[in-house]
Amino acid sequence: MNDTIQHTIVSRRTIRKFQPDDIPLHTIVDILEDAKWAPNHKLREPWEVMLYKGDGKGHLIEHIQESIARTEFDEEKAEKKKEKINQFIHNIPIHLLVTVKSATSEKERHEDFAATCAFIQNIQLLSWAKGLGVVWKTNGFIFDPIFREAMGLEPSDVIVGLLHIGKPAFIPNPKERKSIKNKLTIYDTQPKKQPSFF
């Protein structure tokens, strides 16, 4: 695979179907060691990571299912969701719960959340460069205070996402992205929006 930064960024896809093959723990640790170089204010390195694999996945499944039972009032839907999450997590080799401690000031909270998102993007890109796929999930249970407590987190801790990692079983085709020109406002020597790029 071409290992240029540009190629990795553009070719990366969110993967939702994975092969069941085990991933060596050292591979994930190596990815995290490199991902930690994400920009972060005053080198606070605000992220924390919980890794679930093998039999350890049972702990994650149990507490997600309990959260579903608490928050889904339709019993039939709840049972379907619980079985779906059971199969989904069992069938994927690695799961990372990425969290950030809540700082005392709004400025630091903003900086630390943004830094942790950059850390997660590094994980996605580094994984892709090694032939692994990632899906970054923000399901409702990450906002459940009882779930967070069950995972050993403090009430003020924030779960930024649950990452599922494995070898892709299917790589989707790219979806069209809007030109950045639709999102870019340029200010040059005059304090007004430039009407054209050309």
- Between CA 140 and CA 119 the distance in angstroms is 22
**Which tokens in the block code for residue 79?**
């049972």
Read off the amino acid at residue 119: F
Residue 163, H or E segment: strand 158-166
Structure tokens given for 81: 């969701």
| Closest C-alpha to 52, from 169, 168, 162, 167 | 162
Whether 1 has a pLDDT exceeding 50, the answer reads no
Structural domain boundaries, residue 25: 5-182
Q: Is 164 helix (H, G, I), strand (E, B) or coil?
A: strand
Asked whether residue 36 is assigned to any structural domain, the reply reads yes
User: Residue 14 falls within a domain, yes or no?
Assistant: yes
Whole-model pTM? Answer: 0.92
Task: Categorize the per-residue pLDDT at 188 as very low, low, confident or very high, splitting at 50, 70 and 90.
Answer: confident
What CATH number does residue 111 fall under?
A: 3.40.109.10
Q: How many CB atoms lie within 10 A of CB 121?
A: 16
pLDDT at residue 192, rounded to an integer = 60
Whether 192 is in a domain gets the answer no
At 122-168, the pLDDT tens digits run 999 999 999 999 999 999 999 999 999 999 999 999 999 999 999 99
Q: What is the pLDDT of residues 13-72, one digit of tens each?
A: 999 999 999 999 999 999 999 999 999 999 999 999 999 999 999 999 999 999 999 999
In a domain, 147, yes or no: yes
Query: Is 111 part of a structural domain of the chain?
Result: yes
Asked whether residue 113 is assigned to any structural domain, the reply reads: yes
Domains held by the chain: number: 1
Residue 189's pLDDT is what? 72
> SS3 of 176, please?
coil
Residue 118 has pLDDT above 70, yes or no: yes
List for the chain the helix, strand, coil content (%; round to 5): 45, 15, 40
